[in-house]
Structure 1
Amino acid sequence: MERDALKRLYRRCDPSEAISPEDDRYVVFEPELRGDDWTARVHRSITRSVEPTCTLLSGPPGCGKSTELRRLVHMFRQGTDGESGYFPVLIDAGDFSDLSGQINAAAMLTGIVHHTGHRVLEAVGEGPDKVPLKDYTYAFESQFQLRAEGSGDALVFEQFLEQIRATLFECMRRVGKPLVVIVDSLNTIQGESATWAAVLRSAEQFFRAAPRFRLPVHVVYTVPPGLLTRNVPGIDFMPMIRVRERGRPAPCAPGIDALRELVRRRISDAALHVLLGEHHESRIRQAIQWSAGSPRALLLILREVLVSAEFPLSGSSWSRVQSEIFDQYVPLVYSKDLGLLAQIHASGYLSLDHADELDTLARLLETNLLSYYRNSESWFDVNPAMLELPHFQRRSSVRKVMMCSRRRDRLRVGGRGPRFRPRPSFACCG
């Protein structure tokens, strides 16, 4: 294959690029593959509410949240009969916030309002020098940080919020419509090894308080998946594309077919034949199962194929692709994680034996070592890479025997232990 053709395919398989519905690579996934049309649910929760809403949306890394948020923007712009009653603003938190550090509420809200103001003024044809964010807002943020950091001065922060609300009201006046502010990338907040727990705690504090900010606009925040284990009400988890059925080794054919179409939108069947040879169809379906239903993980596999030295890939080269993909997860697993992973693999639930496993569970969610699926019910399973580890296989076999014993005990006593299950509906907090 020519170098220019490979470069074009490599560019079309960018796993970090969120695409809009107008893009020829965009694929519409049927609601049953995720248990619901999550984007349409967010849209309905906003358009049917008479008060401003606060939506907290999370999901496993790579499940397609950013692309679906662009679809949400498209739905608001399109409106009903071509007439939209809302003004959507999509903001990337990484443009104004350090996503490796702790969240400062004042700085975060100031960044959100500042970028919203710019988008509003662009829409009405005014220059950025007329952003309706007064200088006193920045000064007040500094004042708040000096007076309230560590002291919890609620009065000062409430005065700061009044300025934020006033600015957002001005933004709505300029466009003449209710605002829908969508803040993406906050789900990627993650500290270093030494600061990870502190960063997650700061995210917990911010998102617990978010509905109480009482902003006069609809706000959609993406939330770190690790907060599913914390005391943050109203988080809704977007599942992976269902490529397996619960408790059965057989793949989910509709999910496999849907992701096969995603591949076809990026790389034609003819090009796949050149890259993977006569077994290209069976190989790409195998790769879809390796991805665990994550569009991003599948694109990473395609890129791994595209950087191979020779085409079509031999059997050993295809095995190397699998090893390259699976090996990236091995350093993320500690020996102490194996028991919990085996337990979740056997049960499908985030069942914990001890409260001190909460941080471990959050880390497993953040690093994609766990996948979440939903049809008529929701369940979790381990990343396919775990199934290839001999020490996990041994632990998993023991855990299955233990789970069978526990089920018999529960049947005898009629009891059932606590289990974490994602909430199925979006929260609207006025």
Structure 2
Amino acid sequence: MTPDEQDFLRRFFRSVADRPIEFNGRDDQRYVRIYSDPNFEEHDPVKLLMRSIEYSTGQSVQLLSGFRGSGKSTELRRLRSKLDGRGYKVALVDIEDYLSPSQPIDVSDFLMALAGGLGDSLLAADHLTGDPAHEGYWPRLVNFLTRTNIEVPEISAGLSAGASTPDKSASIGASAGLKATLKSDPSFREKLQKRMAGHLGALTRDVSAYVEECVKKVKARYGQDTEVVLLVDSMEHIRGTFTNAAAVQDSVINLLVQHSDKLHFDYLHVVYTVPPYLKILQPNLGSLYEPGGLQMIPTLKVRIKDENRTPFQPALDLLEKLISERGDWKRLLGPESRAVVDELSLLSGGHLRDHLRLFAEIIRRADKLPVSRAVVDAAIQQNRNGFLPISDEAAIWLDMIANNHDVALKSNERLHELAGYFEAHLALNYRNGADWYDIHPLVRDVVRQQAEVARTRWAGKD
């Protein structure tokens, strides 16, 4: 392989890496305007989110959901770009920077992270220009814990020995430690949750007061008509591990349902990203978050909901454009290989991340250009293997989803199991007027064959 070919593959591989588009003038061309297509424009999440913000008087709250890798983070950044252009001051907070996604979430540590992230983001954007020790939330939180006599040794150790009121340097040191430890130390987080249990009302008021102060300072600087928007990303990453997934999912539901009132703020527009399983585990969740409610980003429909699973050409054209913006697929696959691109698009199920992953694996395996059919098949199988193995019981359920295009849920006791299928992309959500479901095309044949064998085996035991 020539140096030029190696450089082409290196650049192509990097361009299909899964990362949000920032809309900062350097990467805008990578964004494919899916929602400019008449077939998909009615589902444009940014248009709908913006209208709820613009039509509301000074404050609003909305939820944005979709599968991990469906483009939520990119769409949030597109929303930020549009809002910036209309004079809004936007704080974008990645909640994963403040809380571990593998641990149950409590309303107290979520509120701390939210306020801390808002202050950090506004300071980073120069919308708050004072001393971080006074403008940020973390030193304030240390003082709050001190005032309410919540003694946490990890915090107290950062304060001046014997001081009734912490000096500035000690407060800064303690607040930096608190911010880091809140995410990295599960035992500290659990201890803090327990000690905060009796002070939730006071914490909620303190966070609300801080949010209001931030907004007032932004308005004082830019004008009283200026409005502030908080975009909270990566909440869908909070899903736990194999051993505690149900507990973590329950904690997210508890936060968003039982404490929904604490997630609304005066004078602030907020958009929270939430996991797609919430649509299953908590019906009508959006009613708690008016005026926008819950906005779902469906998987790109690459097939029509019919008996023949007819390919939907507008979606295939968009996915071809998506990959064209990242590299020359004709050089990679061959000049007459549009059929292969469409095959890969169909196998991705319209899931944007999986579409890019298929091309990344082909590029990784390429030893010559264009690549052989054997390389394409090996890349497909490698991505398929990532979904396997599947239990017989799961195969039967997934086969029912594929055949009926609904979730085929027999009882609510299995809701968490169904949520797991969505988290793993084994089940996908589409929209054609009403929502409908299918299983990932990479495993459809495997699931069907396994389900048939399992049904026969179980019938024989009866």
Residue 202 (structure 1) aligns with: 251
Deviation (angstroms), 1:148: 6.5
CA contact (8 A) 1:33 1:374 kept: no
Q: How does 1:167-246 map to 2 (within 5 A)?
A: 167-176=210-219, 177-213=226-262, 214-216=264-266, 217-231=268-282, 233-234=285-286, 235-246=294-305
CA distance in 2, matches of 1:379, 1:253: 19
Deviation (angstroms), 1:363: 0.3
Alpha-carbon spacing, 1:314–1:369, altered in 2? closer, same or farther (3 Å): same
1:283-326 alpha-carbon deviations (Å, 9 max, x no partner): 11111111111111111111111111422221221110110111
Q: Does 1:166 align with 2:209?
A: yes
CA distance in 2, matches of 1:111, 1:165: 13
CA distance in 2, matches of 1:210, 1:301: 41
CA contact (8 A) 1:107 1:141 kept: no
Worse-superposed segment, 240-249 or 27-36:
27-36
CA contact (8 A) 2:93 2:121 kept: no
Q: What is the SS of the residue equivalent to 1:32? A: coil
Alpha-carbon spacing, 1:31–1:221, altered in 2? closer, same or farther (3 Å): farther
CA distance in 2, matches of 1:101, 1:193: 11
CA distance in 1, matches of 2:260, 2:432: 29
CA distance in 2, matches of 1:293, 1:42: 23
CA distance in 2, matches of 1:372, 1:73: 26
Alpha-carbon spacing, 1:34–1:196, altered in 2? closer, same or farther (3 Å): farther
Q: Does 1:60 align with 2:67?
A: yes
Alpha-carbon spacing, 1:361–1:297, altered in 2? closer, same or farther (3 Å): same
CA distance in 1, matches of 2:237, 2:432: 26
Deviation (angstroms), 1:375: 2.7
CA contact (8 A) 2:107 2:259 kept: no
* Amino acid of the structure 2 residue aligned with 1:286: E
CA distance in 1, matches of 2:272, 2:437: 23
Q: How does 1:85-96 map to 2 (within 5 A)?
A: 86-96=88-98
CA distance in 2, matches of 1:34, 1:358: 31
Deviation (angstroms), 1:243: 0.8
Q: 1:329 aligns with which of 354, 366, 387?
A: 387
1:130-183 alpha-carbon deviations (Å, 9 max, x no partner): 324263423546839769729954xx2121111101111111111113221111
CA distance in 1, matches of 2:319, 2:202: 49
Alpha-carbon spacing, 1:206–1:306, altered in 2? closer, same or farther (3 Å): same
Residue 425 (structure 1) aligns with: none
Higher relative contact order (CA closer than 8 Å, sequence separation 6+): 1
CA contact (8 A) 1:34 1:374 kept: no
CA distance in 1, matches of 2:372, 2:75: 36
CA distance in 2, matches of 1:127, 1:138: 16
Residue 128 (structure 1) aligns with: 132
Q: What is the SS of the residue equivalent to 2:407? A: coil
Residue 291 (structure 1) aligns with: 348
TM-score by length of 1: 0.83
Deviation (angstroms), 1:47: 1.4
CA contact (8 A) 1:87 1:180 kept: yes
1:30-69 alpha-carbon deviations (Å, 9 max, x no partner): 3633751111101111211226322121112211111000
CA contact (8 A) 1:59 1:65 kept: yes
CA contact (8 A) 1:244 1:251 kept: yes
For this pair of structures, how many residues does the alignment match?
387
CA distance in 1, matches of 2:401, 2:24: 35
Residue 378 (structure 2) aligns with: 320
Q: Does 1:341 align with 2:398?
A: yes
Q: Does 1:98 align with 2:100?
A: yes
Deviation (angstroms), 1:266: 0.4
Residue 264 (structure 1) aligns with: 324
Structure 2 residue ranges without an equivalent (≥5):
152-189, 220-225, 287-293, 456-462
Q: What is the SS of the residue equivalent to 1:251? A: coil
CA distance in 1, matches of 2:216, 2:276: 35
CA distance in 2, matches of 1:193, 1:141: 34
1:348-393 alpha-carbon deviations (Å, 9 max, x no partner): 112311222211110001111111111322211100022120x524
* Amino acid of the structure 2 residue aligned with 1:339: I
CA contact (8 A) 2:102 2:239 kept: yes
Residue 110 (structure 1) aligns with: 112
Measured on the aligned residues, the alpha-carbon RMSD in Å equals 2.5
Worse-superposed segment, 296-305 or 49-58:
49-58
Residue 79 (structure 2) aligns with: 72
Q: What is the SS of the residue equivalent to 2:250? A: helix
Deviation (angstroms), 1:341: 1.2
CA distance in 1, matches of 2:78, 2:145: 33
* Amino acid of the structure 2 residue aligned with 1:222: T
CA contact (8 A) 1:33 1:255 kept: no
CA contact (8 A) 2:304 2:311 kept: yes
% identical aligned pairs? 26
For the pair shown, which has the larger CA radius of gyration, 1 or 2? 2
CA contact (8 A) 2:115 2:211 kept: yes
